[in-house]
Chain A
Amino acid sequence: MKLKQIMQLLSARPLTDVVDEELEISCACASDMMSDVLAFPKEHMILLTGLVNHQVMRTCDMLDIRAVCFTRGKLPTAEALEMANEDGISVIATDLTMFIASGKLYAGGMNNGTIG
């Protein structure tokens, strides 16, 4: 699934200067705990999270995660967004809750990434 389709499914808007809508995403992981994300990483994964600090971007950097979606209208801190822009991570945001966003992606054919 392309990031573009994910944005449509979640009515998500772009937050970073560059959002690569053609990015191929094969699974999703939903968590606020970065140590959980680190425990079961997969490739071409999008991270759904409500954690807004810059450790989210550090974690993405370490795991080569190229796309992040903030849920329930939460927005990353200025430092987090700056880091994402520097690292070229595509960051989007949806007003949907993590549960609903996950459900929509699952129903839309997205594979289970890691947790739950």
Chain B
Amino acid sequence: MSILKEEFPVAAMDFVTAGEASAQIKRMLKKLGVDPGVIRRLAIACYEAEINLVIHSDGGKLMLELNPDNVTLISEDVGPGIPDIDLAMSEGYSTASDDVRMMGFGAGMGLANMARNADHFNIESIVGEGTKIEMVFDIK
């Protein structure tokens, strides 16, 4: 039984609201008294995932699930997908446009950073369909 289950839609290329879902999730977990260390790691990974939905997908959602011993975060989108996941995971690789770089993103650090902050990280992608990332953050 999960304590909390919540979905947050994320629109493609909307830089005005980009990050709002992550900010909301962070506030929510803080209010529920989740361990600050877990919140810190999750907030970073969540924000990276949200920005990826904004800059790389055609739209998607973040799904949050709080359980007694972990927090699970799933990012799922409809979009171009990732042809070479190993390459996409390597730090410095980015297909982001100059416009996105002007916004301060597109250093090619996001996926690796998500994997580093999560206790469990899984990514699946189908070219032409979309990408799904599942991250689990253990509560000790």
Q: How many B residues are at the interface, by size bracket?
A: 20 to 34
CA A56 to CA B104, docked complex, whole Å: 8
Shortest CB–CB separation between residue A62 and chain B, in angstroms? Answer: 5
- For A38, give its contact among B23, B44, B103 (CB under 8 Å): B44
Contacting pair A55 B110 (CB below 8 A): no
CA A35 to CA B94, docked complex, whole Å: 11
> With an 8 A cutoff between CB atoms, is B105 at the interface?
yes
Q: Which residue of chain A lies nearest to B101 when distances are taken between CB atoms in the complex?
A: A33
> With an 8 A cutoff between CB atoms, is A53 at the interface?
yes
Contacting pair B104 A39 (CB below 8 A): no
Contacting pair A53 B104 (CB below 8 A): yes
> With an 8 A cutoff between CB atoms, is B87 at the interface?
no
Q: How many residues of A contact B (CB 8 A)?
A: 19
**Per-residue A-contact encoding for B29-44, CB less than 8 Å = 1, 0 else:** 0000000000010011
Which A residues lie within 8 Å of B110 (CB)?
35, 38
> With an 8 A cutoff between CB atoms, is A14 at the interface?
no
Where the two chains meet, the residues of B that have a C-beta atom closer than 8 Å to any C-beta of A are 15-16, 18-19, 22-23, 26, 40, 43-44, 46-48, 51, 91, 101, 103-110, 112-113
- Since A35-B108, A55-B15 are in contact, a sample of 11 more A-B pairs with Cβ atoms closer than 8 Å, ordered by chain A residue number, is A33-B104, A35-B48, A35-B106, A35-B109, A35-B110, A38-B47, A55-B19, A55-B103, A58-B18, A59-B104, A63-B40
Where the two chains meet, the residues of A that have a C-beta atom closer than 8 Å to any C-beta of B are 32-36, 38-39, 41, 51, 53, 55-56, 58-59, 61-64, 79
